[in-house]
Structure 1
Protein backbone atom coordinates (compact mmCIF):
# COMPACT_ATOMS: atom_id res chain seq x y z
CA UNK A 1 0.00 0.00 0.00
CA UNK A 2 1.21 3.50 -0.82
CA UNK A 3 2.02 6.00 1.90
CA UNK A 4 -0.73 8.47 2.81
CA UNK A 5 1.28 11.17 0.99
CA UNK A 6 0.91 9.28 -2.29
CA UNK A 7 4.47 8.04 -2.65
CA UNK A 8 4.85 4.41 -3.82
CA UNK A 9 6.30 3.30 -0.48
CA UNK A 10 4.71 2.06 2.71
CA UNK A 11 4.03 4.59 5.45
CA UNK A 12 6.72 2.87 7.57
CA UNK A 13 9.30 3.39 4.80
CA UNK A 14 8.18 6.92 3.95
CA UNK A 15 6.54 9.55 6.17
CA UNK A 16 6.81 7.56 9.40
CA UNK A 17 10.59 7.97 9.10
CA UNK A 18 10.20 11.76 9.32
CA UNK A 19 7.57 11.45 12.06
CA UNK A 20 10.17 9.61 14.15
CA UNK A 21 13.08 11.90 13.16
CA UNK A 22 12.31 15.21 11.43
CA UNK A 23 15.79 15.25 9.88
CA UNK A 24 14.66 12.38 7.61
CA UNK A 25 12.64 14.98 5.67
CA UNK A 26 15.55 16.07 3.48
CA UNK A 27 13.61 18.41 1.18
CA UNK A 28 10.77 20.90 1.56
CA UNK A 29 8.50 18.58 -0.43
CA UNK A 30 9.32 15.63 1.81
CA UNK A 31 8.46 17.73 4.86
CA UNK A 32 5.21 18.89 3.26
CA UNK A 33 4.29 15.28 2.39
CA UNK A 34 5.12 14.17 5.94
CA UNK A 35 2.92 16.96 7.32
CA UNK A 36 0.03 15.77 5.14
CA UNK A 37 0.52 12.25 6.53
CA UNK A 38 0.58 13.76 10.02
CA UNK A 39 -2.84 15.30 9.35
CA UNK A 40 -4.11 11.91 8.12
CA UNK A 41 -2.82 10.21 11.27
CA UNK A 42 -3.75 13.20 13.51
CA UNK A 43 -0.15 13.43 14.75
CA UNK A 44 -0.37 16.79 16.49
CA UNK A 45 3.08 16.53 18.04
CA UNK A 46 4.72 16.23 14.61
CA UNK A 47 2.57 19.02 13.17
CA UNK A 48 3.82 21.32 15.93
CA UNK A 49 7.44 20.10 15.72
CA UNK A 50 7.57 20.61 11.94
CA UNK A 51 5.99 24.09 12.12
CA UNK A 52 8.59 26.86 12.47
CA UNK A 53 8.72 28.36 15.98
CA UNK A 54 8.00 31.86 14.63
CA UNK A 55 4.60 30.81 13.24
CA UNK A 56 3.77 27.68 15.29
CA UNK A 57 0.11 27.67 16.51
CA UNK A 58 0.74 25.90 19.84
CA UNK A 59 -2.59 27.02 21.34
CA UNK A 60 -4.45 25.55 18.36
CA UNK A 61 -2.91 22.06 18.59
CA UNK A 62 -5.96 20.37 20.16
CA UNK A 63 -8.33 22.01 17.65
CA UNK A 64 -6.10 20.98 14.73
CA UNK A 65 -5.96 17.36 15.91
CA UNK A 66 -9.72 17.29 16.51
CA UNK A 67 -10.38 18.62 13.00
CA UNK A 68 -7.84 16.24 11.40
CA UNK A 69 -9.66 13.31 13.02
CA UNK A 70 -13.10 14.60 11.99
CA UNK A 71 -12.47 14.54 8.24
CA UNK A 72 -11.70 11.68 5.86
CA UNK A 73 -8.49 12.38 3.98
CA UNK A 74 -8.63 11.40 0.31
CA UNK A 75 -5.37 12.31 -1.43
CA UNK A 76 -2.53 14.76 -1.86
CA UNK A 77 -1.49 16.29 -5.18
CA UNK A 78 1.83 18.14 -5.29
CA UNK A 79 1.53 20.66 -8.11
CA UNK A 80 4.85 22.55 -7.99
CA UNK A 81 8.02 22.74 -5.93
CA UNK A 82 10.40 25.69 -6.09
CA UNK A 83 13.83 25.30 -4.52
CA UNK A 84 13.58 23.31 -1.28
CA UNK A 85 16.27 20.79 -2.21
CA UNK A 86 18.78 19.29 0.21
CA UNK A 87 21.17 22.16 -0.66
CA UNK A 88 18.66 25.03 -0.26
CA UNK A 89 17.64 26.92 2.86
CA UNK A 90 14.18 27.89 1.64
CA UNK A 91 11.55 26.65 -0.75
CA UNK A 92 7.88 26.54 -1.63
CA UNK A 93 5.51 23.68 -2.37
CA UNK A 94 2.13 24.17 -4.06
CA UNK A 95 -0.33 21.39 -3.37
CA UNK A 96 -3.95 20.32 -3.15
CA UNK A 97 -5.05 18.18 -0.21
CA UNK A 98 -8.46 16.58 -0.72
CA UNK A 99 -10.72 15.54 2.14
CA UNK A 100 -14.32 14.57 2.81
CA UNK A 101 -16.19 16.66 5.38
CA UNK A 102 -19.86 17.21 6.16
CA UNK A 103 -20.99 15.07 3.24
CA UNK A 104 -18.89 16.74 0.56
CA UNK A 105 -15.39 16.74 -0.88
CA UNK A 106 -13.33 19.82 -0.09
CA UNK A 107 -9.78 20.81 -0.93
CA UNK A 108 -6.98 22.82 0.63
CA UNK A 109 -5.08 24.51 -2.22
CA UNK A 110 -1.98 26.19 -0.83
CA UNK A 111 1.45 27.46 -1.79
CA UNK A 112 3.44 26.80 1.38
CA UNK A 113 6.73 28.37 2.40
CA UNK A 114 9.47 26.30 4.04
CA UNK A 115 12.80 27.18 5.65
CA UNK A 116 15.76 25.02 6.60
CA UNK A 117 17.51 25.73 9.90
CA UNK A 118 20.07 23.56 11.70
CA UNK A 119 19.73 20.93 8.97
CA UNK A 120 15.95 20.61 9.50
CA UNK A 121 13.13 21.76 7.25
CA UNK A 122 10.20 23.65 8.82
CA UNK A 123 6.82 24.81 7.55
CA UNK A 124 6.52 28.62 7.77
CA UNK A 125 3.01 29.12 6.42
CA UNK A 126 1.45 30.49 3.26
CA UNK A 127 3.95 31.75 0.73
CA UNK A 128 3.70 35.42 -0.13
Structure 2
Protein backbone atom coordinates (compact mmCIF):
# COMPACT_ATOMS: atom_id res chain seq x y z
CA UNK A 1 0.00 0.00 0.00
CA UNK A 2 1.34 3.44 -0.96
CA UNK A 3 1.66 6.03 1.80
CA UNK A 4 -0.85 8.86 1.77
CA UNK A 5 0.63 11.94 0.04
CA UNK A 6 0.76 15.16 2.02
CA UNK A 7 -1.98 17.63 1.05
CA UNK A 8 0.58 20.48 0.98
CA UNK A 9 1.98 19.21 -2.32
CA UNK A 10 5.55 18.68 -1.12
CA UNK A 11 5.64 15.25 -2.76
CA UNK A 12 6.40 13.62 0.60
CA UNK A 13 4.11 11.21 2.43
CA UNK A 14 1.88 12.94 5.01
CA UNK A 15 3.57 10.91 7.79
CA UNK A 16 6.95 12.44 6.87
CA UNK A 17 5.79 15.97 6.07
CA UNK A 18 2.92 17.76 7.85
CA UNK A 19 1.77 14.78 9.95
CA UNK A 20 4.47 15.15 12.64
CA UNK A 21 3.68 18.88 12.94
CA UNK A 22 -0.04 18.18 13.29
CA UNK A 23 0.72 15.52 15.91
CA UNK A 24 2.99 17.87 17.90
CA UNK A 25 6.06 15.67 17.36
CA UNK A 26 7.87 18.47 15.48
CA UNK A 27 7.47 22.22 15.09
CA UNK A 28 7.82 24.15 11.86
CA UNK A 29 11.38 25.22 11.13
CA UNK A 30 10.41 27.97 8.66
CA UNK A 31 7.39 30.12 7.83
CA UNK A 32 6.93 28.15 4.60
CA UNK A 33 6.83 24.88 6.50
CA UNK A 34 4.26 26.32 8.90
CA UNK A 35 2.17 27.69 6.03
CA UNK A 36 2.24 24.31 4.28
CA UNK A 37 1.20 22.56 7.49
CA UNK A 38 -1.63 25.06 7.97
CA UNK A 39 -2.83 24.45 4.41
CA UNK A 40 -2.81 20.71 5.15
CA UNK A 41 -4.76 21.38 8.35
CA UNK A 42 -7.40 23.24 6.32
CA UNK A 43 -7.51 20.34 3.83
CA UNK A 44 -7.92 17.81 6.65
CA UNK A 45 -10.33 19.89 8.76
CA UNK A 46 -7.94 20.28 11.72
CA UNK A 47 -9.18 23.55 13.29
CA UNK A 48 -7.34 22.86 16.56
CA UNK A 49 -3.96 22.92 14.79
CA UNK A 50 -4.86 26.12 12.97
CA UNK A 51 -5.75 27.84 16.24
CA UNK A 52 -2.63 26.52 17.96
CA UNK A 53 -0.36 27.90 15.24
CA UNK A 54 -2.05 31.33 15.12
CA UNK A 55 -0.27 34.21 16.87
CA UNK A 56 -1.87 35.03 20.23
CA UNK A 57 -2.52 38.67 19.26
CA UNK A 58 -4.59 37.84 16.16
CA UNK A 59 -6.00 34.37 16.96
CA UNK A 60 -9.81 34.11 16.88
CA UNK A 61 -11.58 32.52 19.85
CA UNK A 62 -12.86 29.74 17.65
CA UNK A 63 -12.68 28.60 14.05
CA UNK A 64 -15.46 26.95 12.10
CA UNK A 65 -14.21 25.31 8.92
CA UNK A 66 -16.66 24.87 6.04
CA UNK A 67 -16.82 21.11 5.32
CA UNK A 68 -18.16 21.88 1.82
CA UNK A 69 -14.84 23.43 0.77
CA UNK A 70 -12.45 20.84 -0.69
CA UNK A 71 -8.86 22.09 -0.84
CA UNK A 72 -7.27 20.73 -4.01
CA UNK A 73 -3.74 22.15 -4.30
CA UNK A 74 -1.17 24.61 -3.08
CA UNK A 75 1.31 26.76 -4.97
CA UNK A 76 3.99 28.56 -2.95
CA UNK A 77 4.85 31.60 -5.07
CA UNK A 78 7.42 33.47 -2.94
CA UNK A 79 9.00 33.57 0.51
CA UNK A 80 10.96 36.26 2.36
CA UNK A 81 12.76 36.15 5.69
CA UNK A 82 12.25 33.27 8.07
CA UNK A 83 15.86 32.16 8.35
CA UNK A 84 17.28 30.56 11.48
CA UNK A 85 18.04 33.82 13.30
CA UNK A 86 15.17 35.89 11.89
CA UNK A 87 11.98 36.68 13.75
CA UNK A 88 9.71 37.41 10.78
CA UNK A 89 8.90 35.96 7.38
CA UNK A 90 6.30 36.05 4.65
CA UNK A 91 4.90 33.45 2.29
CA UNK A 92 2.92 34.28 -0.84
CA UNK A 93 0.77 31.39 -1.99
CA UNK A 94 -2.24 30.35 -4.02
CA UNK A 95 -4.48 27.73 -2.42
CA UNK A 96 -6.89 26.02 -4.80
CA UNK A 97 -10.30 24.72 -3.78
CA UNK A 98 -13.65 23.45 -4.99
CA UNK A 99 -16.97 24.57 -3.58
CA UNK A 100 -20.38 23.66 -4.95
CA UNK A 101 -18.76 22.15 -8.04
CA UNK A 102 -16.84 25.33 -8.85
CA UNK A 103 -13.09 25.87 -8.74
CA UNK A 104 -11.57 28.82 -6.93
CA UNK A 105 -8.34 29.99 -5.37
CA UNK A 106 -7.17 32.05 -2.45
CA UNK A 107 -4.12 34.18 -3.28
CA UNK A 108 -2.52 35.62 -0.15
CA UNK A 109 0.68 36.98 1.33
CA UNK A 110 0.85 35.69 4.91
CA UNK A 111 3.03 37.12 7.66
CA UNK A 112 4.65 34.87 10.24
CA UNK A 113 6.50 35.79 13.42
CA UNK A 114 8.18 33.86 16.18
CA UNK A 115 6.30 33.65 19.45
CA UNK A 116 7.85 31.71 22.30
CA UNK A 117 10.50 30.45 19.89
CA UNK A 118 7.94 28.97 17.46
CA UNK A 119 6.68 30.25 14.15
CA UNK A 120 3.11 31.52 14.26
CA UNK A 121 0.73 32.84 11.61
CA UNK A 122 0.18 36.57 12.28
CA UNK A 123 -2.05 37.73 9.43
CA UNK A 124 -2.48 37.78 5.70
CA UNK A 125 -3.22 40.16 2.85
CA UNK A 126 -5.52 38.92 0.11
CA UNK A 127 -4.01 39.45 -3.33
CA UNK A 128 -7.10 38.58 -5.31
Global fold match (TM > 0.5): yes
Pair 1:115 & 2:99 matched = no
Partner of 2:76: 78
Structure 1 residues 33-92: Cα deviation after superposition (integer angstroms, max 9, x where no partner)? 000000011001000000111000123x1x2x2x1x211111000000001123211000
Q: Unmatched 5+ residue regions in structure 1?
A: none
The answer as to whether partners of 1:75 and 1:98 remain within 8 angstroms in 2 is yes
User: In structure 2, what is the equivalent of residue 126 of structure 1?
Assistant: 124
Distance between the aligned counterparts of 2:112 and 2:82, measured in 1?
A: 7
- Whichever structure has more helix as a proportion of its residues is 1
For residue 75 of structure 1, give the secondary structure of its aligned residue in structure 2.
strand
- Higher RCO (C-alpha under 8 Å, 6+ residues apart): 1
CA distance in 1, matches of 2:25, 2:114: 11
Mean alpha-carbon deviation: is it higher for 115-124 or for 22-31? 22-31
Give the total of aligned pairs.
123
Question: Aligned equivalents of 1:22 and 1:126: distance in 2?
Answer: 26
Give the TM-score taking structure 1 as reference length. Answer: 0.89
1:22 CA displacement: 7.5
The answer to whether the 8 Å contact 1:92/1:127 transfers is no
